[in-house]
Amino acid sequence: MALLVFAAGVGALSRFDPAAGLAFAAGGAALLAALFGRALLRPLEEIGRFAVARAAGDMERRLRWRTGPGRPIADALDHAADAVSARIAQADSEKEQLQAVLGGMVEGVLVVNATGRIVLANPRLRQMFSAWGEVTGRTPLEVIRHAGVGDVLRAAASTQELVSAEIQVAGAEERSILMNAVAFPASGPRLGTVAVFHDVSDVRRLENMRRDFVANVSHELKTPLTAVRGFAETLLSGDVPPADVDKYLGVILKHADRLSNLIDDLLELSRIESRKVPLQRTAVDVGRVAASVMAGMEPQLRAKSLGVKLIDEAPGEALADRRAVEQVLTNLLDNAAKYTNSGGHLEVRVSDAHDGIRVEVQDDGIGIPDEDLPRIFERFYRVEKARSRDLGGTGLGLSIVKHLVQAMDGDISVSSEVGRGSTFAFTLPRAPISRNGP
Ligand code: ADP
């Protein structure tokens, strides 16, 4: 409509004065341009505001410019912006998932780019290598300070294969870390290398323990067997004077007993460790159990003229397995008797501990050197091998004691002085007070 009026005006004017007509036409053109310009600018401005709002995270924002020929464009822009937003949301959620996985992994993960700079290091990796602070963009050597890691990363970067190596990491306790590294992507130009670190220290320690254990058991079995065999062969050869036959048979019997003790202790240890026979924990009067164990050992104690005393402070009952408590006391008293010279004294005290029942088995025997004390509960550990064997020891008694006490949620400790004697003390949890009982 404005256009028709304007055209009519131009026509009318040009009939009278060409210059005025021209001026009028120029003014009209400017007016038209301004009108069209405004009409064009408004949607463009709105698109701009829309883009800024979307970029700032306002995902609900829609283009209001919905009229006339602009509508398909507005729809297309809204649609495109929604698609971009959906992708961003998906990427965000994938990133969060990845972060959660990396954060929760027990393995350390390290990713370096093609120039060997760190792109990613998960929390476990930082903990494994005590790598704190900013690590992105730095080299593994700067952060991890282990030459072996760099060697494996370089080796992996130059091959298609997975490269594995076990590295030792020094620290308060040396740890064995299995490292697997592979370059990515599998084909095409290399973008970097990803390495996964698995702490295998416990596995290695168990393997070593098992190896040592098998070696120890074989050795322990072999010694008495060799003796039994040697003495039996000598007897069979007929070279033994009849007066010595009994002595030889006695030696054979002693070694056969040792073998049998050893096998009993091994079976007991494996039974406790495998927890195949669960402990039956009930309220146990430890003082009474101690009295009965001591009574059972009387012949052994009398043979060595050992004085023995039980001090039962009646601290109440422990939550324990009666048979296990018997076994613990038997082993400790047996040791006390074995490693105390004739005429010595043994004492068992059952008392009230801060949070349970405390039992002390004390002797005034040979004592244990300070340097041996930390290892005394290890399997087959003996201060004097020959003395222990002579006394029929297997080197497993204290190991069994420790396992049993711990299986009952107790603690055991030892204090000793060479030449003055030893005290083994263990605690057991207190049994809950029975509501029906006295
Ligand atoms: P063993 O069968 O040799 O007695 P144990 O495991 O019972 O094995 O004890 C390990 C070692 O601890 C013994 O060989 C001995 O050297 C030392 N030991 C244990 N109890 C005592 C004790 N009461 N006094 C001195 N030494 C002890």
**Single-letter amino acid code for the residue at 423:** T
Give the Å distance between the CA of 377 and the centre of ligand 1.
9
Task: Please tell me the predicted confidence (pLDDT) of residue 361.
Answer: 98
Q: How far apart are CA 271 and CA 74, in angstroms?
A: 78
Contacts of residue 382, Cβ cutoff 8 Å, sequence gap at least 6:
388, 393, 395
Among the residue ranges 120-124, 132-136, 414-418, the one predicted with the least confidence is: 132-136
Residue whose CB lies within 8 A of the most ligand 1 atoms, among 346, 381, 382, for a mutation test: 382
Residue 167 neighbours by CB distance under 10 Å:
17
Does 388 contact ligand 1 (Cβ within 6 A)? yes
Does 412 contact ligand 1 (Cβ within 6 A)? no
Does 265 contact ligand 1 (Cβ within 6 A)? no
The answer to whether 332 touches 321, Cβ cutoff 8 Å, is no
- Is 5 a residue whose pLDDT tops 50? no
Q: Is 281-428 a domain of CATH 3.10.310.30?
A: no
Does 344 contact ligand 1 (Cβ within 6 A)? no
Nearest to 408 by CA among 309, 317, 304: 317
Share of the chain above pLDDT 90, in %: 62
- Is 403 a residue whose pLDDT tops 60? yes
Q: Which tokens sit at 42?
A: 């408004």
Q: How far apart are CA 311 and CA 315, in angstroms?
A: 11
Give the Å distance between the CA of 382 and the centre of ligand 1.
6
The dihedral built from the CA positions of residue 419, 413, 387 and 331, taken in this order, carries a sign that is: positive
Residue whose CB lies within 8 A of the most ligand 1 atoms, among 265, 268, 368, for a mutation test: 368
Q: How far apart are CA 198 and CA 204, in angstroms?
A: 12
Angle between helices 18-55 and 2-16 (to 10 degrees): 160
CATH number of the structural domain 105-199 = 3.30.450.20
Instruction: For the chain, give every domain's residue range.
Output: 17-96, 105-199, 204-273, 281-428
- Is 417 a residue whose pLDDT tops 50? yes
Average confidence (pLDDT) over 335-349: 96
Among protein residues, the one with the nearest Cα to ligand 1's atom 4 is 393
Give the Å distance between the CA of 334 and the centre of ligand 1.
9
Give the Å distance between the CA of 277 and the centre of ligand 1.
26
pLDDT (tens digit per residue) in 282-296: 999 999 999 999 999
3-state secondary structure at position 403: helix
Among protein residues, the one with the nearest Cα to ligand 1's atom 8 is 395
Residue 332 neighbours by CB distance under 10 Å:
28
- Is 8 a residue whose pLDDT tops 50? no
Does 398 contact ligand 1 (Cβ within 6 A)? yes
Task: Please tell me the predicted confidence (pLDDT) of residue 302.
Answer: 94
pLDDT band at 351 (very low <50, low <70, confident <90, very high): very high
Give the Å distance between the CA of 253 and the centre of ligand 1.
23
Share of the chain above pLDDT 70, in %: 90
Atom of ligand 1 nearest to the CA of 376: 12
Task: Please tell me the predicted confidence (pLDDT) of residue 3.
Answer: 42
Does 366 contact ligand 1 (Cβ within 6 A)? yes
Does 421 contact ligand 1 (Cβ within 6 A)? no
Among protein residues, the one with the nearest Cα to ligand 1's atom 21 is 335
Helix (H) or strand (E) holding 260, with range, is helix 242-274
Does 339 contact ligand 1 (Cβ within 6 A)? yes
- Is 1 a residue whose pLDDT tops 60? no
More confident residue, 9 or 359: 359
* Cβ neighbourhood burial of 234 (10 Å; 0-12, 13-18, 19+): middle
Task: Please tell me the predicted confidence (pLDDT) of residue 27.
Answer: 74
Give the Å distance between the CA of 371 and the centre of ligand 1.
14
pLDDT (tens digit per residue) in 251-284: 999 999 989 999 999 998 888 888 777 889 999 9
Q: How far apart are CA 367 and CA 424, in angstroms?
A: 11
* Cβ neighbourhood burial of 189 (10 Å; 0-12, 13-18, 19+): exposed
Residue 38 neighbours by CB distance under 10 Å:
9
Q: How far apart are CA 68 and CA 39, in angstroms?
A: 12
Give the Å distance between the CA of 275 and the centre of ligand 1.
25
Among protein residues, the one with the nearest Cα to ligand 1's atom 23 is 336
Atom of ligand 1 nearest to the CA of 421: 24
Task: Please tell me the predicted confidence (pLDDT) of residue 14.
Answer: 46
Average of per-residue pLDDT values in the chain: 88
Average confidence (pLDDT) over 12-34: 64
Give the Å distance between the CA of 324 and the centre of ligand 1.
19
pLDDT (tens digit per residue) in 44-84: 777 788 888 877 878 777 777 666 666 777 788 878 888 88
Question: pTM for the full model?
Answer: 0.65
- Is 370 a residue whose pLDDT tops 70? yes
Atom of ligand 1 nearest to the CA of 424: 23
Give the Å distance between the CA of 335 and the centre of ligand 1.
6
- CATH classification (class only), 204-273: mainly alpha
